[in-house]
């Protein structure tokens, strides 16, 4: 017979009020409380809490204060991740964030779901579906990602979008519900490389005086 934790992580209905789950959630939230309260006072020491909060977290990753998790232990984060303030991770199912991912403020990744049937919902049964954020993704401020969604490599999701379905790689998606506005193409690459070259040209000119 599967435990409530096993059911939860397998995407089955489970009871969220289960004692084992409550203890696991409490541990994660207590660590996050420590992180939020001390980050601006003892940054170096406080960042050492991140590997204790999450299942894994890569090098050069940083999360601003006012982080919130359901568990933390069901979330894996890659290298060079940055999240602005008030990141919400409802990780009753696994959240997998790859490398070089950037989040604006108030981003919410919500793996948790509740039955549409009110009778079953009122019995306290719930479920979760995993969320995957692939390499080089940028989520703008106030983006909400719903259960079961994958956001593909290199994609950008505009501020305020509510992502209810997976977004393919190399896409710009906006709106509620989020829809692909267009693909990221060679024009974008040329434009931003020109801007980068102009920046470094200015820096070289300033250096050479």
Active-site residue identified among 96, 114, 160, 170 = 114
Residue 129 per-residue DSSP state: -
- 163: nearest Cα among 109, 202, 126: 109
pLDDT of residue 205: 85
Is the torsion defined by CA of 172, 175, 177, 181 positive or negative? negative
**Whether 90 contacts 111, CB under 8 Å:** yes
pLDDT of residue 176: 97
- 104: nearest Cα among 72, 131, 64: 64
Please name the helix (run of DSSP H) or strand (run of DSSP E) that holds residue 169, with its range, or none.
Answer: none
pLDDT of residue 141: 98
Q: Whole-model pTM above 0.85?
A: yes
Domains of the chain: 4-208 (2.160.10.10)
**Is 114 an active-site residue?**
yes
Show Cβ contacts of residue 122 under 8 Å, excluding neighbours closer than 6 positions: none
pLDDT of residue 71: 97
pLDDT of residue 68: 98
Report H helices in the chain: 4-9, 19-38, 43-47, 50-53, 118-121, 186-208
Regions of the chain with pLDDT less than 70: none
- Rounded-to-integer distance, Cα 35 and Cα 55, Å: 16
**Whether 172 contacts 158, CB under 8 Å:** yes
């Amino acid at each position: 017979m599967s435990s409530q934790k096993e059911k939860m992580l397998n995407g089955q209905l489970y009871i969220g009020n289960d004692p084992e789950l409550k203890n696991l959630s409490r541990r994660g939230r207590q660590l996050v409380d420590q992180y939020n309260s001390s980050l601006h006072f003892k940054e170096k020491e406080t960042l050492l809490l991140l590997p204790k909060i999450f299942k894994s977290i890569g090098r050069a990753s940083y999360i601003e204060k006012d982080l919130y998790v359901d568990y933390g232990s069901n979330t894996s984060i890659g290298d060079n991740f940055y999240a602005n303030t008030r990141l919400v991770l409802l990780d009753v199912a696994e959240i997998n964030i790859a490398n070089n991912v950037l989040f604006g403020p108030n981003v919410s990744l919500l793996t948790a779901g509740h039955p549409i049937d009110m009778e079953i919902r009122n019995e306290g049964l719930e479920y979760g579906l995993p969320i995957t954020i692939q390499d080089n993704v940028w989520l703008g401020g106030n983006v909400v990602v719903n259960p079961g969604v994958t956001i593909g490599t290199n994609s950008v999701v505009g501020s305020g979008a509510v992502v209810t379905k997976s977004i393919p790689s190399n896409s710009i998606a906006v709106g509620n519900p989020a829809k692909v506005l267009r693909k990221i193409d060679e024009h974008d690459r040329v434009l931003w490389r020109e801007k980068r070259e102009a920046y470094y040209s200015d820096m070289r000119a300033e250096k050479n005086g």
